[in-house]
Amino acid sequence: MTRLTHTLALVGLLCGVLSAWPVIARITSPNLLNVKRLEAVKLSSRGPNAEEAVAPPRVKNITFANPKASQFFVDGTTIPEVNFDVGPSWAGLIPISAAPDESRKLFFWFFPPGLEGSLDDLIFWTNGGPGYSSLEGLLKENGPFLWGPGQARPTQNEYSWTNLSSVLYVEQPVGTGYSQGTPDAKNENDVAAQLVGFLQQFLEIFSELKGKKFYFSGESQYAGMYIPYIANFIFENTRSTLDLDLQGLWMNDPVLSWDIVHRQIPAVDFVHKYEHVFAFNHTFLAQLDSVATMCNYSDYMAKHVTYPPQGLLPLPGASTDIDLACEAWDVIIGAAQLINPAFNIYHVLDTSVLWDVWGFPVSAQDTLVYYDRADVKGVIHAPLTVDWELSNFDGPDVFPDGDVSLPPAFTVLPNGIEKSKRSVIVHGLADFILIAKGTRIVLQNFQVAGMQGFREPLLNDSFIVDGVGALGKMQSERGLTYVEISLAGHQVPGYSPVASLQVMK
């Protein structure tokens, strides 16, 4: 034992007599604090600083025999602003059918697995919306290089999902991102048919990927619709025509049920949980409490969300429509923005707006959006004529007449879970656009494998992240795993990369 540690241990021992804490050496020197901070940052990040030399990526040797594949090849040394070699990838537009005059094409970017990843597996990723580009997930959440808020340039992602297997990002349905054609989807089966058509054409070119174990993942409101419906479509209709072996589903922060369930019932409870973050005045808090009481929100969880559930869970009022007097979620957002102009419904802990290459969700600057740059489009074989937008704010809706499909909890989600080997639903606990407790309500209200809801409760500290410790709660029963991650915002793999990679495994 060196003299220093000896002394520290002794101090710790003396303190230990009076303290409930285990013996911990005190860290007071700024240098030591900085060393600790850098160690911690490594655990949540984004790899080396842009200035540090980055070793060339080591990826599994994957080659495609079809000469058409080479038209899609992306040279990993040429991606604008990325100052390291990302390794080989493939990107471009592929039609959704074999018809020679097919005008509808989806844009994809495919990455092979890292050295320790599996060549037997293929992960599919989609963002939600509807109409949000999946290239957001690639560059901000789980891709091999990330350009997150506050970063001056992209950096390598130590926790890329390519560490696990190949990953395929697709901008879907028609009307999203660089994808081509006139949107005409009327429901989720139309979306599923488009995507399956695309995948069939994709596999004709990249036929080495045929037969892979397939994991269908995505985020947000609309991934909650897309993933169960497309999975159901694949299980029920295309087992013989789509040469992929669908094994698992991942949805983070999805919509599975009505707005009133995901947003209104848990809104005031959420404010109390983060009372010091919202910093509302007492009069307003009292008003919120009286709305919650009047509208049957305040005791909803205690009364109805039991483990196991006692029968079907009721709506708090007469219908799924929200009475103006019972509108809590919108009112809270308005009040929060008044106090904290940086209020971010996707991650309520924010108190400042960082520079962001996307100018989203809050725009602090005018930037040319990365994917709208001609040099970026050139490298990834994207159409130069498309004004790329993260969401088609200005373009036609991807569902021109709306989406008539019902929320999946009442329709296809149970089948998708039952037919998959593993389904995962993840929720960031600092997300207010969709609230974790709403998802808990949904999960206690539908049947999987002949039984309703989880039988056992989510225990404190039940979600343990390697090298970090407890970071939330989880429960796993009958093929469905549900995880709540502390501090994570809506874009969970971006906010909580280590935890997300671990859950995805």
Ligand X SMILES: *[C@@H]1O[C@H](CO)[C@@H](O)[C@H](O)[C@H]1NC(C)=O
486 binds ligand X (CB under 6 A): no
Binding segment for ligand X among 120-128, 156-164, 171-179, 342-350 (CB under 6 A)? 156-164
**Looking at 4, 31, 460, 469, which residue binds ligand X (CB under 6 A)?**
460
114 binds ligand X (CB under 6 A): yes
Q: What angle do CA 434, 169, 61 make, to 5 degrees?
A: 140
Helix axes 282-294, 265-273, angle to 10 degrees: 150
Q: What angle do CA 171, 172, 175 make, to 5 degrees?
A: 100
**Looking at 240, 283, 365, 385, which residue binds ligand X (CB under 6 A)?**
283
> Token digits for 45?
């990040």
Active site (annotated) includes residue 245: no
Binding segment for ligand X among 78-86, 258-266, 289-297, 474-482 (CB under 6 A)? 289-297
Q: How far is the CB of 77 from ligand X (least distance, A)?
A: 16
The closest of 282, 269, 293 to 440, measured between CA atoms, is: 269
Q: How far is the CB of 162 from ligand X (least distance, A)?
A: 8
Close Cβ partners of 219 (under 8 Å, ≥ 6 residues apart):
126, 127, 128, 137, 141, 251, 252, 253, 254, 490, 491, 492, 493
360 binds ligand X (CB under 6 A): no
Q: How far is the CB of 112 from ligand X (least distance, A)?
A: 11
Amino acid at 397: D
Instruction: Give the C-alpha separation, 479 to 100, whole Å.
Output: 42
CB of 17 or CB of 318, closer to ligand X: 318
Q: How far is the CB of 317 from ligand X (least distance, A)?
A: 3
Binding segment for ligand X among 123-131, 158-166, 268-276, 358-366 (CB under 6 A)? 158-166
61 binds ligand X (CB under 6 A): yes
The helix (run of H) or strand (run of E) holding residue 247 is: strand 245-252
The closest of 210, 204, 290 to 244, measured between CA atoms, is: 210
281 binds ligand X (CB under 6 A): yes
115 binds ligand X (CB under 6 A): yes
The helix (run of H) or strand (run of E) holding residue 483 is: strand 480-485
Active site (annotated) includes residue 101: no
Single out the catalytic residue among 121, 253, 356, 431.
Answer: 431
Binding segment for ligand X among 206-214, 278-286, 376-384, 404-412 (CB under 6 A)? 278-286
Single out the catalytic residue among 403, 423, 490, 500.
Answer: 490
Q: How far is the CB of 105 from ligand X (least distance, A)?
A: 29
Burial class (CB in 10 A: 0-12, 13-18, 19+), 54: middle
335 binds ligand X (CB under 6 A): yes
Active site (annotated) includes residue 220: yes
Find where tokens 């844009």 sit.
Answer: 107
Single out the catalytic residue among 220, 257, 423, 500.
Answer: 220
As a three-state string, the secondary structure of 30-98 is HHHHHHHHHHHHHHCCCCCCCCCCCCCCCECCCCCCCHHHHHHEECCCCCCCCCCCCCCEEEEEEECCC
Q: Which residue is nearest to ligand X (CB)?
A: 317
28 binds ligand X (CB under 6 A): no
**DSSP for 417-435, written as a single string:** HHHSSEEEEEEETT--SS-
**CB–CB of 346/490 below 8 Å?**
yes
CB of 24 or CB of 294, closer to ligand X: 294
296 binds ligand X (CB under 6 A): yes
Find where tokens 């919120």 sit.
Answer: 288
Number of amino acids touching ligand X (CB under 6 A) = 21
Question: CA torsion sign, 340 to 345 to 348 to 353?
Answer: negative
Per-residue string for binding with ligand X, 370-409, x by CB under 6 A? ----------------------------------------
163 binds ligand X (CB under 6 A): yes
Q: How far is the CB of 283 from ligand X (least distance, A)?
A: 5
Find where tokens 């050496």 sit.
Answer: 25
CB of 9 or CB of 301, closer to ligand X: 301
**Looking at 2, 63, 365, 385, which residue binds ligand X (CB under 6 A)?**
63
**Looking at 338, 342, 354, 404, which residue binds ligand X (CB under 6 A)?**
338
CB of 164 or CB of 255, closer to ligand X: 164
**CB–CB of 253/492 below 8 Å?**
yes
Kind of pairing, strands 213-219 and 469-470?
A: unpaired
**Looking at 12, 317, 383, 479, which residue binds ligand X (CB under 6 A)?**
317
Binding region for ligand X (CB under 6 A) = 57-58, 61, 63, 114-115, 158-159, 163, 281, 283-284, 294-296, 317-318, 326, 335, 338, 460
Q: Residues with catalytic annotation?
A: 220, 431, 490
